[in-house]
Structure 1
Amino acid sequence: MSCICDVVLLLLCDSVPLKSISVQVRVQDHVATVSSTLQYVNEEECPLEALFVFPLPADAAVCHFSAKIGEQEIVAEVQDRESARDQYDDAVSSGQQAFLLEESAESPDVFRLSVGCLSAGQNAAVTIIYITELAVQADHSLRFCLPAVLNPRYTPAGSGAGIVSEISSGCGAVPYTLTLSVHVSSPKPISKLESNCSLDPLVFLQSDHTQATVNLSPGHMFDKDFELFVFYQDTHQPSAIVETGVTTAPPGSLMRDPVVMISLYPEFPEEVMSSLATRGEFVFVIDRSGSMGSMMHYGKGAKMRIESAKDTLLLLLKSLPMGCYFNIYGFGSHFESFFPKSVVYNQETMDQALKRVKEMKSDMGGTEILKPLKHIYSQRCHPDHPRQLLVFTDGEVGNTKEVLDLVKSHAHSHRCFSFGIGEGASAALITGMAREGSGHAQFITDTDRMQPKVMQSLRFALQPAVVNIFVDWTLPDGLTVETLSPPINVLFQGQRTLIYAQLKGESSGGSEGTVTVKYSLKDQPVTNQLHFCLKPTEETGLSIHRLAARTLIRSLEQEKRSGAADVEGIRNRMVELSVQAGVSSVHTAFIAVNKDSRQTVKGPLKRRRVLAYDSDEFDDMCYGVPQMGCDDDVYVELDEEVELLSGDSEEYDDMCYGVPQMGIRRGFACFKPESNDDVYGDIDIYDDGFDALAEAAPESQKDLLLQLVSLQKASGCWDLDATLADVFGKTEDELTNQKPAQVDGSVWATLLALIWLYGCKIEQQVEWQFVAMKAASWIGSQKVGDLSQCVCAGNVLLGCQVTKETLGI
């Protein structure tokens, strides 16, 4: 299909008002307080108004917003959104400096900052502080992420074009600097800090290693998310933090009473958790929008995201238990499924699916996930086969809250596991889908391999379900508790569960409370208990109160959207809670006005806009893969404002099929034109651009693990043939000649595969664990005699030293 794109929107400026970003991160146990200061300088000869949009962590509680102009600091107040907007407009129109910070109505992790009436030559430093919980990772670390697209983004005036990133007018250099420092403190000793970016040496502030600082090394280009992983000793110990309230707050209010944050790590019996389910319906939902043609990272051996997703699907399909049901959906501007409805997993259906997986391309336009989800939810579930959705996407959607409401409304029959691929994935979408769908979220960024994280989530999906979850509190006389967090719907082994609760009343004695979590696992009752001190043990400011308020605001917002009768009452409650706690909500905004700045403004305020890509808006307009390198491409500076494409996503999809040969990076169009005439003329792009790009890229080294897995049968066995021998670096004759007489070829081949996995790929066991379990189970079903001699012969042939017991046979 030919794609002709002859219109592009770009407005470049000679100067960008944002000059520097300074970030200070304070980590206290499981919570991070982040202070970001953005320095603006108007170097032009006219007054400016800047509209910037940037992302924050999905569950962040924005609790402070201030602006400093010269030596004067103006601290913003939280007000009703409409009132704040009116106040901002009035101030700017009268020549006063004003600043407005609003949360997006569509997605809770996107904020708009309006900087009004910066006079020529004027400096303004805007400080935003937010608090966020840190997610626990598979390796027991806590993850903090500062999105790279914190670079401000703006919405073009007078259009519904959406949010796009600010970029510079020069290729290869950002127009501002970034400095970042981190201070970590915890009751538990800090083992280490790791990052995907270069850090200065870690400095411990206490001999017991409970406090430490580290800085981002100079020269960071901020071209990818900054990720920090904090490792504590005994991370999985349950804990509780009690925080006192504000004495000046209204009696009985959330901010007046003490609040407790409980971190629980339920312990499950190992003998129960090791028995994985053999039933279920597994629906894989794969993003096939144009941006999935981006590279996973910029390092050596990087693959396209779609290619990594295809490798992951291979592992998933080989790991499913025989007799379960499965289906695969691809989505972009439209969607398609491999089968009209889920099919029974066997050799025939697995082969059909793998053939289609090989043909998958990132050729389906923009990112529209709502339609395929609605279709999946409309399909009748199979009795005794709980449906599990595994959703892979690298994009952001404009209707995040609508998607999350849909997932929540079907959580009783569908569990949802979500995977965010690359730095562009929306944290609100990924974490929200897993939270509302009683599943687990994973983020695959930088050089992460997708397969280990996905297989960990598959293990969660195959584990026995925890049911009848009940939380009970025991407190001294005179104290009562109001739980602020939503009910716990799911528990996973090794995963943390956070509970916020408001403590009401006065204790008549006793300084300890107890929280007990009870549940059933395979019809067996299980009890986990935590005792905690009611006296605050450390200074936490009001971070726990504000996170609790944010949690309660989110619950009220979802209740309002679900069709509650008293919509106005819920809205008023949200505004009241937001104002009292000083945290953001969709119905409030931070407003700051410098009333001493009234000056005569000559002429209209000018907006200096610089355009980069937005992963969804631009997918629909052929900009496809902005993260693809442009080193060998033709750079063309686009210095004219051109009319935007208009129309719905179907029209965009017909015009531009998400092709990666054209992108926008820092204000330049990046092409692979057939001739120089194509640079300024119509650009012909074809669907097979991905194939051409793949052919042009250097051939990566074969992944022997994936090659071995690809040869396994659905039942779990391997055939004894030349392709298997090639994985081992042997010939077919060598394998055949060393085969013990008492076993047939398939048993011998499967034994060799198991020995090779345990002997040569043990560091990747999380990826092949289910493949090996199926193989061991298949060997056990063959009723072969003593296998010890066969294992010894296999070890000699492959140069390994693996015991029969290790193989699980």
Structure 2
Amino acid sequence: MMVNCCGLLTAYKEQVPLKSVVVELEVRDHVATVVSTLNYENKEDKPLEAVFVFPLPGDAAVCHFSATIGKTQVVAEVKEKQKARDEYDDALSSGQRAFLLEESEQSPDVFSLSVGSLPPGESASIRLEYVTELAVQADDGLRFCLPAVLNPRYQPQDSEGPSVQVTSVPASLVPYSLSFSARVSSPRPVSKVESNCPLDTLQYLNTEQTQATVKLAAGHKFDRDVELLIYYKDAHQPSAVVEAGQTSAKPGTLMGDPVVMLSLYPEFPQAVMSSASCGEFVFLLDRSGSMGCPTNNSKQQETRIGSARDTLLLLLKSLPMGCYFNIYSFGSSYEHIFPNSVEYNQKTMVKALKKVKEMKADLGGTELLKPLKHIYSQPCIQSQPRQLFVFTDGEVGNTKEVIDLVKSNSGSHRCFSFGIGEGASSALINGLAKEGGGHAQFITGTDRMQPKVMQSLRFALQPSVADISVTWDLPKGVSVTVLSPPITAVFQGQRSLIYGQLTGQSSEAAEGCVTVKYSLAGHPSQNQLHFSLKPAEDNGLTVHRLAARTLIRSLEMEERERRGEQDGGVKKKVVELSVQSGVSSAFTAFIAVNKGNGEAIQGPLVRRNVPTPDISMRVSTEPQQPPRDPFLQLISVQKASGCWVLDPALAAAMGKTSEEVESPKPASVNQEVWATILALIWLHGFKMDAREEWELLAMKAVSWLRAQNAACVAECVEAGNALLGCKVQKEALGL
């Protein structure tokens, strides 16, 4: 029991200077600008240095940092990292107030903010601004996430460098409040905004409903990430935004020239989209201790590992016959079910499922690099494209190394990633999918993992797109420098963003055109977008900053690849670009020093680490498994070929006795055909809400039935409906 003696205390009875956090979000189409204000107060009788470590989206571009102490405001500048640190230390030792904001060496989604020399009784307000692209979800929603949590990073045993120490306190004791508001505008109407936290009603600002505001309901406890999903009508329109350069910057530089941002949504012809029936599917599952935690705060029974086991069951039942697969699991060490990927059939499927059933969250930390290296060391299988699925709830201390490894193997596989639960690192999850040419999904709050994973399996079964090229057609005198890395993956309905710097002069009415060509399963295809070169009105410099961030991230990766050759040229380029655009990078930091009135602040500095909420409350023992869901029970007895067998387990899943299920079978029909039709009727009759979870395995069952050329299908459907009390039409089953 904590005694609340004076002000706010951490679990260690130290006072915490962070009082409140105010976040204002501005979303324009699919780009967000976020302004956070952190208010500190030193309630101690000696000067304080507070260190606050906090997460930001992995691909955020931090572009403004300022501090107000009393009545004085100091705006930070971006400087080379060591220079900034030296300046900060000098300022503190000479008794001046200083602030330093820097990105973690290991992962681009963790920042640490040092608030130096805050005199007793003084308040400081820190304003931080960043821009980020919003990812498109499986249901076309755009996802913005304000991370509340920084789970302790897991540092691999042999890694170097100090890891930032974060004290965690239970969410109920988080000593600061949060207020959060968003303003959304788009050329298309905003149809709805949803969140995992209670929101006030959406307020439209105009009759076209293209502008709206929404607020987080009062009293939000910072006990989870705040996730916002924004839906537009007709979201999948390709679009282009041209943004004017900064008037004070030199023409010919990135900030001085106009920049165009293209968002493309390729549509593929239906004929080519019939699912592939081959591939090597490698599933990599996190079994670190935290996977034993509940999936969310409300439903205590289901654990993350339990949900992952159910998901693997659905995946294994949905794979096409004739493909190859393997399952790895990892923690501090890793295990695999088969020494190499094996052909998918009844025998290998049963063996894998038996092993999956026994999997527990008992492998310690989160060492992702070693199993990945092992997987990549296995030779690829001729004409079976490799598809890697990574499931993790955590953070790794060596995010950049892991992502670099995936990138260097991107020519031979696609990587699909799943962040499970609060606090999964967005830099890790998005980075794996981006560099591995796959798709990233986040499973938080009360989301079920299964529909999101099956969506990614559908992507993985799409034929892969080859020979992607982008060509520009611009008026005479205008040229483009593409700032984005080349597009390596294109999926049906998934967005690709391209940034380009436009140099030269054109008339007001001029138009540009961009063409994306690719080949899909051997068929050449193309999409085209015409756009006006006239800059959009008042966009701030959001697009320029995102373009600079894209270029900075590519250069940082190049620098890591060339670490052997120390010419320092790439690093120098990053520092120049970061300073010029005011966007953070791995090699720079924001530094603000308040020279003040020259009076030194008296007394030795006391350092305080500000706690961040720990909402996982590490669970060591797994809660009791809830009784098996009849849906999963039914799925678990399906055969690899897609059919079901008439046995007591199938009857029990449908809530019947063996006798009840066997007697209505038409005499001329074999038992497997009857059992398979019954299972399909049960799914269509009772589980339509979960259709996306069983659609692929039902398609497999229908293919199996067609191959049997069975007579009296209509009679079976009629008898099955009568038995189960359903009204499912034969056509609805696809028969």
Same fold, TM-score > 0.5, yes or no: yes
> Structure 1 unaligned runs (5+)?
1-9, 615-625, 629-658, 662-688
Q: Provide the TM-score with structure 1 as the length reference.
A: 0.87
Deviation string 1:446-503 (CA, Å, 9 cap, x unpaired) is 1110010011101111111111111111111111111111101010111111110111
**Cα distance in structure 1, aligned partners of 2:300 and 2:662:** 35
Q: Which residue of 1 aligns with 2:163?
A: 162
8 Å contact 1:292–1:304 — kept in the other structure? Answer: yes
Residue 164 of structure 1, CA deviation? 4.2
Deviation string 1:647-684 (CA, Å, 9 cap, x unpaired) is xxxxxxxxxxxx834xxxxxxxxxxxxxxxxxxxxxxx
**Of 652, 660, 665, which aligns to 1:734?**
660
Q: Which residue of 1 aligns with 2:734?
A: 808
595-604 or 336-345, larger mean C-alpha shift: 595-604
Q: Which residue of 1 aligns with 2:528?
A: 529
1:545–1:24 Cα change, 3 Å: same
Report whether the alignment pairs 1:796 with 2:722: yes
Which amino acid is 2:616 matched to? Answer: Q
**Cα distance in structure 2, aligned partners of 1:393 and 1:18:** 31
Q: Which residue of 1 aligns with 2:287?
A: 288
536-545 or 133-142, larger mean C-alpha shift: 536-545
Deviation string 1:321-358 (CA, Å, 9 cap, x unpaired) is 11211111110111111111111111111111111111
299-308 or 448-457, larger mean C-alpha shift: 299-308
**Of 651, 657, 680, which aligns to 1:754?**
680
1:32–1:349 Cα change, 3 Å: same
Report whether the alignment pairs 1:370 with 2:369: yes
Deviation string 1:50-106 (CA, Å, 9 cap, x unpaired) is 122111001100000000011211110111111111111100111100001111111
Q: Which residue of 1 aligns with 2:690?
A: 764
**Cα distance in structure 2, aligned partners of 1:430 and 1:14:** 35
Which amino acid is 1:581 matched to? Answer: S
8 Å contact 1:717–1:747 — kept in the other structure? Answer: yes
8 Å contact 2:148–2:613 — kept in the other structure? Answer: no
Report whether the alignment pairs 1:444 with 2:370: no
Q: Which residue of 2 aligns with 1:633?
A: none
Which amino acid is 1:55 matched to? Answer: P
Identity in percent: 62
8 Å contact 1:418–1:434 — kept in the other structure? Answer: yes
Q: Which residue of 1 aligns with 2:191?
A: 191
**Cα distance in structure 2, aligned partners of 1:91 and 1:702:** 62
**Cα distance in structure 2, aligned partners of 1:127 and 1:32:** 16
Residue 719 of structure 1, CA deviation? 0.8
Deviation string 1:602-647 (CA, Å, 9 cap, x unpaired) is 4320012355788xxxxxxxxxxx624xxxxxxxxxxxxxxxxxxx
SS of 2:606's partner is: coil
8 Å contact 2:54–2:612 — kept in the other structure? Answer: no
Q: Which residue of 1 aligns with 2:260?
A: 260
Which amino acid is 2:661 matched to? Answer: L
SS of 1:59's partner is: coil
Residue 14 of structure 1, CA deviation? 3.4
509-518 or 451-460, larger mean C-alpha shift: 509-518
Q: 1:65-464 maps to which residues of 2 (within 5 A)?
A: 65-149=65-149, 162-167=163-168, 172-273=172-273, 275-300=274-299, 302-464=301-463
Residue 437 of structure 1, CA deviation? 0.5
8 Å contact 1:141–1:230 — kept in the other structure? Answer: yes
Residue 405 of structure 1, CA deviation? 0.6
8 Å contact 2:171–2:221 — kept in the other structure? Answer: no
Q: Which residue of 2 aligns with 1:584?
A: 584
8 Å contact 1:58–1:109 — kept in the other structure? Answer: yes
8 Å contact 2:481–2:501 — kept in the other structure? Answer: yes
Report whether the alignment pairs 1:744 with 2:670: yes
Q: Which residue of 2 aligns with 1:627?
A: 616
498-507 or 560-569, larger mean C-alpha shift: 560-569
Residue 173 of structure 1, CA deviation? 2.7
Q: Which residue of 2 aligns with 1:607?
A: 607
Residue 111 of structure 1, CA deviation? 0.8
Q: Which residue of 2 aligns with 1:632?
A: none
Residue 194 of structure 1, CA deviation? 0.5
Which amino acid is 2:58 matched to? Answer: A
Which amino acid is 1:495 matched to? Answer: Q
Residue 790 of structure 1, CA deviation? 1.6
**Cα distance in structure 2, aligned partners of 1:579 and 1:716:** 59
8 Å contact 1:477–1:508 — kept in the other structure? Answer: no
Residue 162 of structure 1, CA deviation? 2.5
8 Å contact 2:39–2:124 — kept in the other structure? Answer: yes
8 Å contact 1:13–1:609 — kept in the other structure? Answer: no
**Cα distance in structure 1, aligned partners of 2:229 and 2:44:** 41
8 Å contact 2:291–2:303 — kept in the other structure? Answer: yes
Which amino acid is 1:608 matched to? Answer: R
Q: Which residue of 2 aligns with 1:504?
A: 503
SS of 1:660's partner is: coil
Q: Which residue of 2 aligns with 1:784?
A: 710
Which amino acid is 2:569 matched to? Answer: G
8 Å contact 1:295–1:302 — kept in the other structure? Answer: yes
Residue 138 of structure 1, CA deviation? 1.1
Residue 743 of structure 1, CA deviation? 1.1
**Cα distance in structure 2, aligned partners of 1:181 and 1:436:** 33
Residue 538 of structure 1, CA deviation? 3.3
SS of 2:608's partner is: coil
Report whether the alignment pairs 1:660 with 2:633: no
Q: 1:666-745 maps to which residues of 2 (within 5 A)?
A: 689-690=621-622, 694-695=623-624, 700-745=626-671
**Cα distance in structure 1, aligned partners of 2:531 and 2:232:** 20
8 Å contact 2:261–2:497 — kept in the other structure? Answer: yes
8 Å contact 2:52–2:610 — kept in the other structure? Answer: no
**Cα distance in structure 1, aligned partners of 2:567 and 2:452:** 40
Which amino acid is 1:719 matched to? Answer: V
SS of 1:376's partner is: helix
Residue 301 of structure 1, CA deviation? 5.7
SS of 1:408's partner is: helix
Report whether the alignment pairs 1:55 with 2:55: yes
**Cα distance in structure 2, aligned partners of 1:25 and 1:33:** 6
Aligned residues: 720
Deviation string 1:158-195 (CA, Å, 9 cap, x unpaired) is x9662344445x88332111101111111111101110
SS of 1:807's partner is: coil
Deviation string 1:123-176 (CA, Å, 9 cap, x unpaired) is 0000100000001111111111000127999x9xxx9662344445x8833211
SS of 1:45's partner is: coil
Residue 25 of structure 1, CA deviation? 0.3
Deviation string 1:493-551 (CA, Å, 9 cap, x unpaired) is 11111110111111257521111111111211111111111112332100000000000
Q: Which residue of 2 aligns with 1:649?
A: none
Q: Which residue of 1 aligns with 2:6?
A: none
**Cα distance in structure 2, aligned partners of 1:461 and 1:534:** 37
SS of 1:285's partner is: strand
SS of 2:260's partner is: strand
1:143–1:612 Cα change, 3 Å: closer
Q: Which residue of 2 aligns with 1:634?
A: none
Residue 802 of structure 1, CA deviation? 2.0
SS of 1:172's partner is: helix
Tell me how large the CA RMSD over aligned residues is.
1.9
Q: Provide the TM-score with structure 2 as the length reference.
A: 0.95
Which amino acid is 2:126 matched to? Answer: V
1:109–1:751 Cα change, 3 Å: same
**Cα distance in structure 2, aligned partners of 1:545 and 1:190:** 25
8 Å contact 1:476–1:508 — kept in the other structure? Answer: no
8 Å contact 1:560–1:567 — kept in the other structure? Answer: no
SS of 2:396's partner is: coil
Q: Which residue of 2 aligns with 1:669?
A: none
Which amino acid is 1:720 matched to? Answer: L
**Cα distance in structure 2, aligned partners of 1:350 and 1:126:** 55
